[in-house]
């Protein structure tokens, strides 16, 4: 794993090697998984290369980059942080899990960040499928959308697989729709009623779908 810091003179060639080989960024040169979440305001994608980030700033006026992977010892992470700094973008770490019940504190933290950050913004995870889908779906809810509208952000169009272990993200929104939608505002439910332990205990994934997602596609 790459552990250098480009700001401290880390080896850029080593960062690229780690990004291309260990983080599979060679797949992301032609495939971006780019989509608009909130028109003119918020976008989602897989982990952008420095060149893609520069184009996003030029084309869409991006001012903030939200990293849904969190701080990592990873060439892709080092390169995108360095690119954000050079481009004058705000860089925010907002890590989510892709195979666990969404954490209450992280949902509420994301709500606070979304309310105060500078737009337009781009958020990314590794593949732009699961954590980017969760963060996008939450934004739909923050903006007063329905669970059905939120779940459109977690679809196979982004290569999100509902039948795999990543389907617990969908289960979160299905659960809200079943027990609280129309009765209590979303964030109020998250803060006062949501039981992530129960959601995790009641969720069952399809073994083959999880094998393909985790072992074949090597998704985080």
The DSSP symbol for 101 reads P
**pLDDT of 211:** 43
Asked if 25 and 83 touch (Cβ cutoff 8 Å), the reply is no
Q: Are strands 35-38 and 42-45 parallel, antiparallel or unpaired?
A: antiparallel
- In three-state secondary structure terms, 97 is coil
pLDDT digits (tens, 9 = 90+) for 174-191: 999 999 999 999 999 999
Beta bridge partners of 122: 43, 65
- In three-state secondary structure terms, 44 is strand
pLDDT digits (tens, 9 = 90+) for 73-85: 899 999 999 999 9
Is pLDDT of 99 > 90?
no
What stretch of H or E contains 105? helix 104-116
- Both tokens of 98, joined, read 């892709």
pLDDT digits (tens, 9 = 90+) for 27-41: 898 899 999 999 999
With CA atoms as reference, report the closest residue to 99 among 216, 7, 214, 13: 214
**pLDDT of 217:** 52
Mean pLDDT of the chain: 91
CATH T-level topology, domain 27-216? 3.90.190
- In three-state secondary structure terms, 155 is coil
Is pLDDT of 102 > 90?
yes
Is pLDDT of 10 > 70?
no
Averaged pLDDT, 191-215: 75
Q: How confident is the model at residue 86 (pLDDT cuts 50, 70, 90)?
A: very high
Residue 70 to residue 87: CA distance in whole angstroms: 20
């Amino acid at each position: 794993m790459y552990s250098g810091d480009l700001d401290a003179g880390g080896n850029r060639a080593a960062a690229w090697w780690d990004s291309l080989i260990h983080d599979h960024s060679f797949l992301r040169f032609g495939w971006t998984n780019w989509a608009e979440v909130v028109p003119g305001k918020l976008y989602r994608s897989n982990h952008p290369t420095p060149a893609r980030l520069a184009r996003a700033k030029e084309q869409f006026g991006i001012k903030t980059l939200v990293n849904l992977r969190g701080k990592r010892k990873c060439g892709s992470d080092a390169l995108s942080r360095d690119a954000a700094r050079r481009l004058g973008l705000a860089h925010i770490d907002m890590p989510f899990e892709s195979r666990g019940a969404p954490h209450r504190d992280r949902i509420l933290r994301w709500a606070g960040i979304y309310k105060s950050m500078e737009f337009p913004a781009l958020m990314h995870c590794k593949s732009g499928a699961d954590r980017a889908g969760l963060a996008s779906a939450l934004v739909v809810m923050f903006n007063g959308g329905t669970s059905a509208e939120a779940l459109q952000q977690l679809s196979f169009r982004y290569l999100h697989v509902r039948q795999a272990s990543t389907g617990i993200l969908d289960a979160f929104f299905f659960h809200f729709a079943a027990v609280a939608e129309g009765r209590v505002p979303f964030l109020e439910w998250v803060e006062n009623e949501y039981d992530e332990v129960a959601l995790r205990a009641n969720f069952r994934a399809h073994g083959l779908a999880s094998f393909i997602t985790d072992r074949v596609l090597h998704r985080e």
